[in-house]
Amino acid sequence: MKSVQILIIGSGPAGFSAAKTALGKANNMTMLNNESYLPYYRTRLNEVIANNKSIDNILIKNSDWYKENNIDIITSVIANNVDTDNKLVTLNSGEKIKYEKLIISSGSTPNKIKIPHASEVLSLYSYDDALKIKEMSKNKGRAFIVGGGILGIELAHALITSGIEASIGIILEYPLERQLDKIGGLFLKDKLDKIGIKIYNNSNFETMGDLIEGSCVITTVGVKPNLNFLKNTNISINRGIVVNEHMESSIPDVYACGDVAEFNGKNPGLINIANKQGEIAALNACGEKASYTEIVPSPILKVSGISIISCGDIEHISSSNIFRFQDEMKYILCSIKDDKLDAAAVIGDVNLGMKLKKAIDTKKTFSSPKSLNEILNSL
């Protein structure tokens, strides 16, 4: 039976960050990867579709790096069961691995929904998914994407770049409903339409057979954490594995990070958060004391000259303290609560968006501002 100091389940952003952080601190570590490829940048999957990038083009590190750093990475395996009492993980091959410290970063799986008139529905999460989308969309000649979040918009842009007609269907009134308010969302919808990304809002898919039939249909409607292999454990699980500021689960020597981790009731599923949580989990697993501080979500979207940055909880802003600006090229939203900037969104000026993010992160004080210019001039 194999024994390791640190066993990492999952090789996505959180898992890789954990492995990289543990270098020089752990005597040995093993990483389990459910794909046949070495870890790669999932954020670059659209380049596979748009620019024919191969897996080698998007790898984080090549095989030599893992050998040089004494990281045993096992590909094409799945953790079937975790025995926390005996510190054993059983793989789908039947092999058992004994660990001293376990870091769970098993990632997530795209939500699957049935779409009327679609004979097959794809999703984009892995390199193989990207290859399948590329092949099917080329054969069909057009694509229909369900979901108007960042992933859906980036995917539509990648398909259009590759020469495929692509449109998006959403059941709501505007795209990026979690990152923008209605005014900003409709502003973005108009901008996307001008670069060839048609968005069908308030969609009833039952009545859209002419568009859906004959299209490569892809859903981008969120993910669910991969937690089934933990069902026989006593690990505390809510929406994700409940962790404290050290990324520790309810079971000693078991840590969680990334999409599977729930901290302060949240598991936002953003890569910068996964990277930081992986780092904190590894530091604590290696015997150091490190604490995770909640990061303000700030997703960024850039497609064909359109840039968007959103910071804070746009969905729940107070209507009484909102300041806006809009012209042909730019949209700005700032929300003030208790003399602090608690949320902001900018379309058309990433530099300004980053300044507003810094103001949120540092809890900068704005004393009863009367206008947006007053806020911007004090950044």
Domain CATH code at residue 239: 3.50.50.60
pLDDT tens-digit series, residues 243-297: 999 999 999 999 999 999 999 999 888 899 999 999 999 999 999 999 999 888 8
The long-range contacts involving 63-68, CB below 8 angstroms and separated by at least 24 positions, are 63/38, 66/38
In a domain, 37, yes or no: yes
Instruction: Give the integer Cα–Cα distance in Å for 25 and 22.
Output: 5
Of 232, 255, 285, at which residue does a domain stop?
Answer: 285
Handedness of CA 172, 196, 298, 39 (dihedral sign): positive
pTM (predicted TM-score): 0.93
Co-location of 16 and 63 in the same domain? yes
Q: Contact 133/140 with Cβ under 8 angstroms?
A: no
Radius of gyration of the chain (CA): 22
The owner of tokens 């459910």 is 34
Distance CA 83, CA 102 (A): 11
Which structure tokens are listed for 266? 């949240």
Q: What is the pLDDT along the chain (379 residues), one digit of tens a residue?
A: 999 999 999 999 999 999 999 999 999 999 999 999 999 999 999 999 999 999 999 999 999 999 999 999 999 999 999 999 999 999 999 999 999 999 999 999 999 999 999 999 999 999 999 999 999 999 999 999 999 999 999 999 999 999 999 999 999 999 999 999 999 999 999 999 999 999 999 999 999 999 999 999 999 999 999 999 999 999 999 999 999 999 999 999 999 999 999 999 998 888 999 999 999 999 999 999 999 998 888 888 999 889 999 998 898 887 778 999 999 999 999 999 999 999 999 999 999 999 999 999 999 999 889 999 999 999 9
How many domains in the chain? 3
* Secondary structure (DSSP) of 200-217: E-S--GGG-HHHHTTSEE
| Sign, CA torsion 172/176/177/178 | positive
Q: Read off the CATH number of the domain in which 361 is found.
A: 3.30.390.30
Most distant CA atoms of the chain, gap in Å? 68
Distance in angstroms (rounded) separating the CA atoms of residues 218 and 313: 27
> Are 91 and 238 in a shared domain?
yes
d(CA 283, CA 6): 11
